[in-house]
Structures are given as C-alpha cells and as structure tokens.
Amino acid sequence: MLAVIAPGQGAQKPGFLTPWLDLPGAESRLRWWSALAGVDLVHLGTEADADEIKDTARTQPLLVAAALLAGGHLPLHDVALTAGHSVGELGAAALAGVLPAEAAITLAAVRGREMAAACGLEPTGMAAVLGGEPDEVLAAIESYGLSAANHNGAGQIVAAGAADKLAKFIAEKPVGNRVMALQVAGAFHTPYMATAEKALGVVAAGITPADPGRILLSDLDGAAVSHGREVLQRLVRQVTAPVRWDLCMRTMVDLGVTAVIELPPAGSLTNLIKRELKDSGLPEIVTLRTPDDLPAARDLIARHGTPPGHGPAPRFRVVVSPGAGTFEPVSELTEGDSIGAGDLIGHVTTRQGPLDVAAHGAGVLTEWLADHNHPVAPGQPLARIGGQL
C-alpha cells in the first residue's frame, strides 16, 4: 500500500516552487489559484524570502497549492491513501477527491488569514519539546497552563499557549532533552484559534464535499474517514484541535503502508516517519522536492500502488484507544456485526477509571485489532469499521 502525504506550515523554503513552474500549465494554474487566494502564489513560491513566506496568511495557501500542483503530476488512481499535517490536510483532502482544487485553495486562504488575525488578539506562541517520556511531557505542559498542540511522534510534542507561560516553560525546561521556541505567529491548534475556526466554518458550510475516493486519514485521531461531510467538519475543527500526526503514522503501520511519497516542500514528515518507525520497519520513501523526483515517485507508485480495476476500494474507519490501559470489547459484538454511529464497542480501563470507546460512524465491524484485556497505548488502533465505497 502506498501513501501520499502533504506537509504543513514550517516546511516551506524560499524558491521551492521555482523548478515546478517549468512544467506545462503550472504557472497559469498558480495564477488562477492566486486569484482565489488573494495572494501572489507565483511570487511567494519563487522570489519571496523566508520572512515573507513565514506569514501565516501567505504560507497556508502556498503549501496547499504546492501539494496540488505536484500531486497533479502523479497517477493518483493507483494511490491507496492520503494524509496531511495541519493545513496539509486540505491538500490531502483535495487529492482524495473530497474537495475541488479551487475549494481547497479558498479554504486555505481563509484559514491562513483568520489564523493570522487570531494570533493578533493576544500574545501567544509555541515551543517544541524534544525527547522525554510522552506522559511526563504532557503532564508538564499542562502544569504550566499550556496545551499540547502537536503530537508529531518521534519524541516531538509541541506546547502552545500564552506567551508569558510559554517563556517560563522554555526557561525552566521541565522535561525533554530540549525545549525550543518556534518562530510562529501564535498558538495554533489551541482554543486561541476559536475565531478562526468559526470563520472557516462559515465558508466551509457553503461547500458540498464528495466522499473520499481513497483512504484519507484525519489529524484529529488518525482515523480513516470515509464521508465527505465528516471530513469537512474535521478540517474546520482541526484549527483549534491538536494535530495527532503520531496517530496518523500508527494507522499507516496498522494498514500495512509499504511506501510513502511526500509532496513539496518535502522532507519534514518523512523525517518524522524515519525516526518513529526505525524499529518497526521503514516504508520505502520518495521526497518529491522537484520535478526531477517525479520519475522515482511514479516508479514507487507502480511498484507499491493499487492497480485500477480490482473492484471497489475499502471504506473504513480505524477506531483508536482514548488512553493507556487495557481494552475490553463489548462481549456481544463480533466481526461482521452492524454498528451505528456513536455505538459503544468497548472500553479502556485506565488508572483514572474506564473510558468508553465508541464508533465514529455507522458501518460493519470488519476486524478487531485488539483482544480482550489487551494492553493498549493512547491512539492505538482497536477496530476497523467500514464497508465498501
């Protein structure tokens, strides 16, 4: 199985789109998307310096445009799975067929502008915590009145919140090997972005999404989401919710992903995959940085992709554990049973007590991924629920 993944804010580099403009139709496509986004994507991708493309209002549509531009030169009908980090989810959703390219660019522009505006309401920021035990890191972040905005895996959790609390956290370095301030405008993926979430939701309400044509993972919980309306709701919710890229990587492992292509500006997500999965078997990787990398990407798809004409693609959700403990499935549920949205499928017994595990949506219990009294970690897949597209 092959996955195509799209990076998020922070991956951009000055001039990274320059070689892509040599492809037929690339510049005219970017000019059209620029009109939708209200920013000059050609200039931003070729001539702008690092400070200019660090602006959230400019960076977010630029990254989505880059993913769509490069993805349009791949045989996507053979790609089984797409996923994106933060704003990269918009690109992944478009490549999965949920959104037209124009809608993805428009939403990215609104998202970027509104998040930039939210950052101006009060001083906030973010800092990366590298190393340390995840539970200890999360407890320390919470003890300083901060939020864990990104769970990136590979020993990296990002803390976010009020600037004064963040400064104290960075100075005291309570956990981890390093605590490093990030050069961002504010506390993304926290309640500080509430105004941006509301504004994005108003625009998103006018879009009619399609159901994904391939597996599409969500940053909210690493689940494979199969209904377009739910994808759109999750994309809006993600503005204030933590990015769970760690859970997306776990789901990729569970699904048996054997190869990964990272779209431009490539490198950040595949570096996380290399560090996170080094002990469990690395997939074959192509970082798609320039058009010169397209032949290698197409070869990877030819060898690891899903050939067309083999019947309908599976549509399912992966239900994951809400905490660390032991899993107890509902005794009367067996594989093949029908399940309704919100139905209880089991619970996880933790030190703080039992946590209910419910289905995200209706479907068929296709496979248990954890057994009775099985020890589970937060985000660990417990069951597949789905049917056919």
Q: How deeply is 118 buried, as exposed, middle or buried, from its count of CB atoms within 10 A (0-12, 13-18, 19+)?
A: buried
Indicate if 189 belongs to the active site: yes
Pick the catalytic residue from 86, 218, 226, 321. Answer: 86
Contact in structure between 85 and 269 (CB atoms under 8 Å): yes
The strand pairing partners of 219, in sequence order, are none
Pick the catalytic residue from 151, 189, 227, 360. Answer: 189
Q: What distance in Å separates the CA atoms of residue 389 and residue 20, rounded to the nearest whole number?
A: 34
The strand pairing partners of 125, in sequence order, are 161
Residue with tokens 């809006």: 236
State the Cα angle at 338 between 335 and 342, rounded to 5°: 110
Q: Which of 255, 245, 305 is nearest to 276 (CA)?
A: 245
How large is the greatest C-alpha to C-alpha distance in the chain, in angstroms?
Answer: 62
Residue with tokens 């209200």: 38
Q: What tokens does 329 get?
A: 């499935």
**In what order do the strands lie in the sheet containing 215-216?**
215-216, 81-84, 2-6, 259-262, 284-287
Total Cβ atoms within 10 A of residue 73? 15
Q: Which of 244, 238, 270 is nearest to 257 (CA)?
A: 270
Q: What distance in Å separates the CA atoms of residue 239 and residue 89, rounded to the nearest whole number?
A: 11
Point out the residues that are catalytic.
Answer: 86, 189
